[in-house]
Structure 1
Amino acid sequence: MQTVDWLWLLHPALAVVLVYPLLGMVLRLAQQTRDRRLTQAKHPATVGRDHADLGKLLAGSVVAIVLIAEAVVIATKHPLSPFEGGGQRLGLLLLVLVGSGIALAALWRVKRPAYRASFGLLCWAGVITLGMQPEVFRLSDNPFELAFWQSHFWGGIGLTGLMLFSVACRPEIHKHLRWRRLHVSANLLAALIFLAQGISGPRDLLEIPLSWQKPTIYACDYTARTCPPPAPR
Structure 2
Amino acid sequence: MTTTDWLWVLHPALAVVLVYPLLGMVLRLASQTRQRRVQKAKLPPTVGVEHADLGRWLAAAVVAIELIAIAVVITTKTPSELSAGRAGLLLLVLAGTVAALVALWRSRQAVYRASFALLCWAGVIGLGLQPEVWRLSDNPLDPAFWQSHFWGGIGLTGLMLFSVAARPEILRQLRWRRLHISANILAALLFLAQGISGPRDLLEIPLSWQKPAVYACDFANQVCPPPAPPAAPAQP
State if a TM-score over 0.5 links the two structures: yes
Is 1:160 matched with 2:160?
no
Aligned AA for 1:229? P
Shift of 1:226: 1.1
Aligned to 1:173: 170
Is 1:73 matched with 2:105?
no
Aligned to 2:142: 145
Aligned to 1:48: 48
Shift of 1:216: 1.1
From 85, 90, 103, the counterpart of 1:88: 85
Q: Residues 148-188 of structure 1, C-alpha deviation per residue, up to 9 Å, x if partnerless?
A: 00000000000000000000000000010011100000000
The alignment covers a number of residue pairs equal to: 230
Aligned AA for 1:199? I
Q: Residues 175-221 of structure 1, C-alpha deviation per residue, up to 9 Å, x if partnerless?
A: 10011100000000000000000000000000000011111101100
Aligned AA for 1:4? T
Aligned AA for 1:184? I
Q: Residues 36-84 of structure 1, C-alpha deviation per residue, up to 9 Å, x if partnerless?
A: 001110111110000000001000000000000000000101123x33x
Equivalence map 1:12-161=2 (5 Å) = 12-80=12-80, 82-83=81-82, 86-161=83-158
Q: Distance in 1 between matches of 2:100 and 2:132?
A: 24
Aligned AA for 2:44? P
- In structure 1, runs of 5+ residues without a counterpart are none
Aligned to 2:234: none
Is 1:214 matched with 2:223?
no
Aligned AA for 1:127? V
Shift of 1:229: 1.9
SS of residue paired to 2:79? coil
Shift of 1:230: 2.1
Shift of 1:104: 0.4
Q: Distance in 2 between matches of 1:215 and 1:97?
A: 31
SS of residue paired to 1:178? helix
Q: Distance in 1 between matches of 2:158 and 2:109?
A: 19
Shift of 1:13: 0.3
Aligned AA for 1:34? R
| Dislocated runs of 4+, deviation >6 Å | none
Shift of 1:223: 1.8
Q: Distance in 2 between matches of 1:73 and 1:134?
A: 10
| CA RMSD between the two structures | 0.8
- Higher-Rg member (1/2): 2
Q: Distance in 2 between matches of 1:65 and 1:199?
A: 17
Q: Residues 110-152 of structure 1, C-alpha deviation per residue, up to 9 Å, x if partnerless?
A: 1011110111000000000001000000000010111000000
